[in-house]
Structure 1
Amino acid sequence: MATSHITPVAGVRPEQAPLGSPVPNVPHAISVSLPTFRDNVDYEEAAPRVVNAMVSGYPRFFVSLKVKELVAICEKKYGKPTENSFLWPSRRVAERCRHFVERYYVPTISTDDSTPTPHPPSTGAGSVRIVEFVIHAPTSELKPDGIKQVKVFATFFPKEAYSVAKQFWQHAGDIVSSRQAAFCLRWLALKAEEDSQQQQQKDEATIRMPRGNRHYAAAKPVAQQQQQGLPAVQSQDDEDKPVEEIDGMDSRDYEVYVEERYGRNLDLSFAPKAKVALRRRIAAQVAHHAGSASGWTGDKEYVTEEDVYLYPTGMSAIYNAHRIAMTLFPTRKSICFGFPYTDSLKVLQKFGPGCYFYGHGEEHDIDALEKEVLEKTLGENVKEEDKILAVFCEFPSNPLLKSSNLVRLGQLAEKYGFMIIVDETLGNFVNVRILEFADIVVSSLSKIFSGDSNVMGGSLVLNPQRRFYKGLKEAIGREYEDLMWVEDAIFMERNSRTFQTRIARIDENTEALCDYLLTHPKVKEVYYPKYVTTANYLTHKVEGAGFGGLFSVIFHSAKGSEQFFDALPFYKGPSLGTNFTLACPYTILAHYYELDWAAQFGIDRNLIRVAVGLEDKEVLFQGFNEALDAITDDE
C-alpha cells in the first residue's frame, strides 16, 4: 500500500493519474488529477463525467469524502430535513460562519461565486444555528497523556444557503481537515463497536443466567450465536495476536499505523512539540534573513517563535491576518496590490468594509493609489473610515510572478499610517527576505514547505520592529486559536525537515527549464521572477538563493496551449509547491466565470501554470519536449 512519502526517482516520472483520482495517490492528498484541458473546463462547468469521477480535490474547494461522511452523521443526529451544515474546528469559527450566512443569504441569492451583496442580518436571522458535536474517546484509545475527546461545531442553515456557507469554507480556510474527520470517524466506529460488545455481554448474561445462577450458564458456540442474530465474540486466540495480524488492524487508519509503527512520525501526544518545532523552524529562517539584511543589532532576536502562529490552511492565515488587523481599525478599507490568488481578494471584498484593487501591481499603480486614495487620508478633517488599514500583496504574485516594490510601498506605509501584509508563499522563506518590509508575513505551508502534497497548513509571522506590532500582538493574543489538527502538525513537521535542500534543487531545475522555454519558438511568453519585475525581486532575493519553483507559460494559440497541456507527461491538477512537477490551466480553474475581468490584468485565458518538482533535469526536459512537439497549431 502506498504511503504519504513521495521521493521522485531519478530518471523516472510518474504515470498519469486517472481523472478524479488523488494527486499523489496517497491518503489525504490535497490535489486531484484533471489530466486534460477539457477536463478542467468540464470541472468548472460541473459536468457529471468529471464530478462523478472525483474522489479527491483541493480541500477548500472539494469537501473531502471523510469530512462529508462526518457531516452526514452530524446532520442525521442533529439536523432537520430542510437543513445542511458545515463542520468547523471551534465554536468561534462556527459563529463567524453564521454571521457570514446571515449577512449574505437571502432566498433569491445567486448560487455562483460572484461577490454577493450584503443584506441586513435580519434577512437570515433565526434560520442559522450552531450545534456542538462531541466525540468521546473509546476505552481502547484512552491514554494518560492522550486526547480524551474531540469537539467539532456544526453550523446548520437552510439548504438554499449552502452556496453561501461554502464561500465561507473556501475563503476563510478554518476548516476541519480530512485527517481530523478520519480520526473522529474511527473513534465513532470504535465507540459503536464497544457499545455493541457491551450490549452483547448483557444479552449473553441474560442467556447464561436466566434464573440468576451463573453456575448453570454456558457460552453458546459462535455459530449458534450468529443463528440467533447475536454478534460473534472474538476468540482468545485473536486477542493474543499482535495488532497488525488482526483483520482491520484494530480499525486504525493504515497510514497512521505505518507512520507510527516504523518511526517516521511521532505519536499524537508529541503534537505540541511538533508545533513548537514548526514555529522555531519558521522563525529561524525568517529571522536569519531579516536580521542580517537590516543590520539588526538589538539585544533580542529580530523575531522568535513567539511571533509565529500556525493555522489549518494558508488561506486561514491570510483571512486571520485581515481579521486581526481589522480589530485595530474596523472601519478602514484595505488595498489589494497586484493580481492575487483569487480567495485573497475575496476575503478583502467580503469581510469588513471592502478594498481598493490595483490589479497590475506595477510602478504606475503605486502612483495612482497614492494620488487617488492615500493623499485623501491626510488632514485634520479626515474620517476614520476614509483611512487605509493595510496594503495586501503577494511576493511574487500568482500567476504572473510579478514582485511588488515593497520598498516604495513601505515608505508610503510610514507616511500614511497603514500596515503592509505580504503573502510570500511563492517566494518562500528560503529565497526571499520579506519580513523587514512588512508588519505581517503569511505563507501557505501546504506548498513547498511541506512538499508532499498530503497536508494543509499556514503560518503568520509578526514583525516586532514595526509600529503596529504592540496592537497586533495584543489583538492576536485575544483572537488566536490553535486550530491546526494534531496529526496534520505531525505530518507537516516531518515533511518540512528537508525544505531547504528541496527548494535549492527545485530552484535549479526551474531556472534551467525556464531559460530553455524562453527561447523556444513555440512559446510566446514565460512568466518567472527572473524575467518579470526583476529589479524588485532581486532587491529581496537572498544571496545564493533562486527564483522559486513556479512559472507560467502561454503559447501562440489556444489550440497550442491545449495540445501542450494534454501531452505534458506529468501530474496535472490544482495546487503548487509539490515535490513532483504539477501543472494546471490556472485561469480556467481560478477565474472561469470572470475570464474577461482577469484578462484586463494580463491573465491570459489559456495560461498554463507549472510547479516544478524534484525530478532530474533530463526527465523534465524530455517531458516538456514531448509536450512541445505535440503542438501543431503554434500561430
Structure 2
Amino acid sequence: MKLETLAIHGGNIVTDSEKPVIQPITLSTTFVHQPESMIYARANNPNRHALERLLAGLEKGADAAAFSSGNAAGVSVFQALEPGSHIIAPDDMYHGLKNAILSLFKGVLEATFVDMTDLEKIKQAFKPNTKLVWIETPSNPLLKITDIAAVSNLAKEKGAMVACDNTFATPVFQNPIDFGADIVMHSSTKYFGGHSDIMGGALITKEKDAFWEKVKNVQVSGGAVPSPMDCYYLCRSIKTLPYRMKGHAEHAIVLANFLSTHESVEKVYYPGLKTHPGHLIAANQMTGFGGILSFQVKGGAEEADLVISKLKYFTNATSLGGVESLIERRAASEGPDTLTPQNLIRVSVGLEHLYDLLEDLEEALH
C-alpha cells in the first residue's frame, strides 16, 4: 500500500461479527483465557494492537510500541539501557526529554550534548561505554538538520544504536529507518493526533532484537500505555495525516519566505529555505520540510511577546501539530536554563486559510 492508503486501512482490524467498517473500541481490561488470546489491557488491547501495527507500517519498521505520552516513549529507551551507559544527544532537543535525561537518570546514565550538525563533534563525544546516539531532526526549536545516514554509519562503527525523534517530520516526510536508524520515536500528541486533543507517544523498531524486547518489557511492566479510546482516536486521526502534512508544509514555506524578507525579523529557521544550513541534507532525507518554523524578531523578549500578543489566528500555547496555528516564545516555556534565544518565536503552522495567516503576521509585525 502507498502511504495514503496505508494511513486509512493499516489501523483497521475488525473482528466483530457484524463487520463494521471502522474497528470498534474495546474497553475491557481483561480477556477470557484461550490459546494465543490477549490477557490483560496493560499488556495488550485490540485498539493498541491496531495502532502499533499501523505505526510500524508507516515507519517501515518491524514492530511498534505505543505509550501514554511522547516522554514516556523516549524515557523507555533510556530505561532499557544498562546502568552506566553513555548517551550522545543533541544540544538542541525537546527540553522535556533533555530534562528527563538530566534528572531521572542522574547517576544512572551518562550524557553528552553536542551539535548534531557537526560530525566531528559527534565523533569526539564517543566513549567506550557509548550505547546510544539520540537524534532529533528537524530539531526543536532551532530546526537543525542531522544527517541521519552519516550519524548512523558512525554509530555502527562504534557499536552504538541510533534512535531518532521523528515528531516534526512524521513518516509522511521522513523515514529514519531507511537511513540507518534503529529506533524511531514520536510524540503522537502532535501530528499523529493532529487536533490537540490526544496525548500519546510511540516507538518503532527496525528489528525485533534483544534491546527491543527490553523496551517492550518497560512498556508492559511500567504500564505507561495509552487507553483504548486514545488508540482508537489516533488511528482515526492518522487517516488524514498525509493530507494534513501536505497542507502544513505548503503553508509553512510561504510563511518562512515572507518572514525571511520582513524588516522586523532578524532570522528565520526553516529547512525548506535554501539559505538554511541544513537544506541540502534535509532535501536528501526528507520529501517535505514540515509545518514548524521558528524566527527571531529584532529586539528581545519584550518585542517577541508584543508580536505574539497582537496575533488573532495564532494561539499563544505550547505544543504543535494541530490543525490550528500555535505560537509561543519558546524560551519562556523552556525555563531559566534554556539556551534558546529570548527573542525566538516558534510557530506550528496550521491549516487556516493561508491569506488569513499572512495578513495576521503582517499586522502583528508592525
TM tier relative to shorter chain: 0.7 to 0.9
Opposite residue 339 of structure 1, the aligned amino acid is D
Of 321, 334, 342, which residue of structure 2 is paired with 1:605?
Answer: 342
* Residues 195-274 of structure 1 aligned to structure 2 (within 5 Å): 266-269=24-27, 272-274=45-47
Equivalent residue in structure 1 for 2:214, among 475, 479, 482: 475
Query: 1:446-461 to 2 correspondence within 5 Å?
Result: 446-461=189-204
Partner of 1:589: 333
Contact 2:168 2:292 in 1 (8 A): yes
Q: Tell me which of 37, 44, 49 is aligned to 1:276.
A: 49
Q: Deviations over 1:440-474 (max 9, x none)?
A: 1100110011111111011101112xxxx522133
Q: SS of the residue aligned with 1:593?
A: coil
Q: What code does the residue aligned with 1:615 have?
A: E
1:265 CA displacement: 9.2
SS of the equivalent of 1:551 reads strand
Q: Is the contact made by 2:311 and 2:364 (CA closer than 8 Å) also made in structure 1?
A: yes
Q: Distance in 2 between matches of 1:368 and 1:473?
A: 28
One-letter code aligned to 2:75: Y
1:612 alignment partner AA: V
Q: What is the match of residue 362 of structure 1? A: 117
Verify the 8 A CA contact 1:441 1:460 in the aligned structure 2: yes
Question: Is the Cα contact below 8 Å between 1:321 and 1:440 reproduced in 2?
Answer: no
What's the secondary structure of 2:324's corresponding residue? Answer: coil
Aligned twin of 2:317: 573
Please tell me whether the aligned partners of residues 116 and 122 of structure 2 are also in contact (alpha carbons under 8 angstroms): no
Residue 393 of structure 1 aligns to a residue whose secondary structure is strand
Which residue of 176, 184, 198 maps to 1:434?
A: 176
Alignment of 1:208-607 (within 5 A): 266-269=24-27, 272-287=45-60, 303-304=61-62, 307-324=63-80, 326=81, 329-350=82-103, 351=105, 352-358=108-114, 360-363=115-118, 366-371=119-124, 373-374=125-126, 377=128, 387-436=129-178, 437-464=180-207, 470-481=209-220, 483-530=225-272, 531-542=276-287, 546-558=288-300, 559-569=302-312, 570-590=314-334, 592-595=335-338, 598=339, 603-607=340-344
1-side partners of 2:349 and 2:24: how far apart? 30
Is this contact kept in 2: 1:441–1:461, CA < 8 A?
Answer: yes
Q: CA deviation at 1:264?
A: 9.3
Q: Which residue of 1 aligns with 2:35?
A: none
Q: Give the drift of 1:370.
A: 2.0
Q: CA deviation at 1:532?
A: 4.1
1:197-231 per-position Cα deviation (integer Å, ceiling 9, x unaligned): xxxxxxxxxxxxxxxxxxxxxxxxxxxxxxxxxxx
Contact preservation (8 Å) 2:248, 2:349: yes
Secondary structure at 1:620 match in 2: helix
**Percent of aligned positions that are identical:** 26
Secondary structure class of the residue paired with 2:240: helix
**C-alpha contact (below 8 Å) 1:507/1:549 kept by paired residues:** yes
Equivalent residue number for residue 65 of structure 1: none
Paired amino acid for 1:560: E
Runs of 4+ with >3 A deviation: 263-273, 476-479
2:337 aligns to what SS in structure 1?
A: helix
| Residues 271 and 279 in structure 2, CA contact (< 8 A), matched pair in contact too | yes
| Aligned residue type for 1:447 | K
**1-side partners of 2:259 and 2:197: how far apart?**
30
- Matches of 1:474 and 1:588 in 2, distance apart? 39
Partner of 1:156: none
**Any stretches of 5+ residues in structure 1 without a counterpart?**
1-144, 146-262, 288-302, 378-386, 630-635
Cα drift, residue 340 of structure 1: 0.7
Query: 1:396 & 1:491 partners in 2: Cα distance?
Result: 26
Amino acid at match of 2:321: G
Say which one has the larger Rg: 1
Q: Identify if the C-alpha distance between structure 1 residues 265 and 279 changes in structure 2 by more than 3 Å, giving closer, same or farther.
A: closer
CA positional deviation for 1:547: 0.8
Q: CA separation in 2, counterparts of 1:507 and 1:446? A: 18
Q: Offset at 1:614?
A: 0.8
Q: Output the CA distance in 2 between the equivalents of 1:411 and 1:518.
A: 35
- How many pairs align? 320
Cα distance in 2 for partners of 1:441, 1:424 equals 6
> Contact 1:338 / 1:397 at 8 angstroms: preserved in 2?
no
Whole-angstrom CA distance in 2 between matches of 1:279 and 1:401: 28
Question: What pairs with 1:184-199 in structure 2 (closer than 5 Å)?
Answer: none
Whether the aligned pair in 1 keeps the contact of 2:84 and 2:110 (CA below 8 Å) is no
**Contact kept in structure 2, 1:338 and 1:362, CA below 8 Å:** no
Query: Distance in 1 between the 2:56 and 2:243 partners?
Result: 18
For 2:155 and 2:267, the matched residues in 1 are separated by: 34
Q: Is the 8 A contact 1:308 1:459 kept in 2?
A: yes
String of CA shifts for 1:527-555, please: whole Å, max 9, x gaps.
1112241122122113xxx2111111111
**CA shift for structure 1 position 489:** 1.8
Aligned residue for 1:356, secondary structure, equals strand
Tell me if structure 1 keeps the 8 A contact 2:183–2:206: yes
Measured after TM superposition, the shift of residue 495 of structure 1 is: 2.2
Contact 1:401/1:532 (CA < 8 Å) preserved in 2?
Answer: no
Cα distance in structure 2, aligned partners of 1:496 and 1:337: 28
264 and 521 in structure 1: CA distance in 2 versus 1, 3 angstrom threshold: farther
Equivalent in the alignment of 1:256: none
Deviations 1:252-286 (A, max 9, x none): xxxxxxxxxxx999444499333233223222222
Q: State the distance in 1 between where 2:242 and 2:187 align.
A: 16
Q: What letter corresponds to residue 363 of structure 2 in structure 1? A: E
For 1:392 and 1:498, the matched residues in 2 are separated by 29
Q: Does 1:628 align with 2:355?
A: no
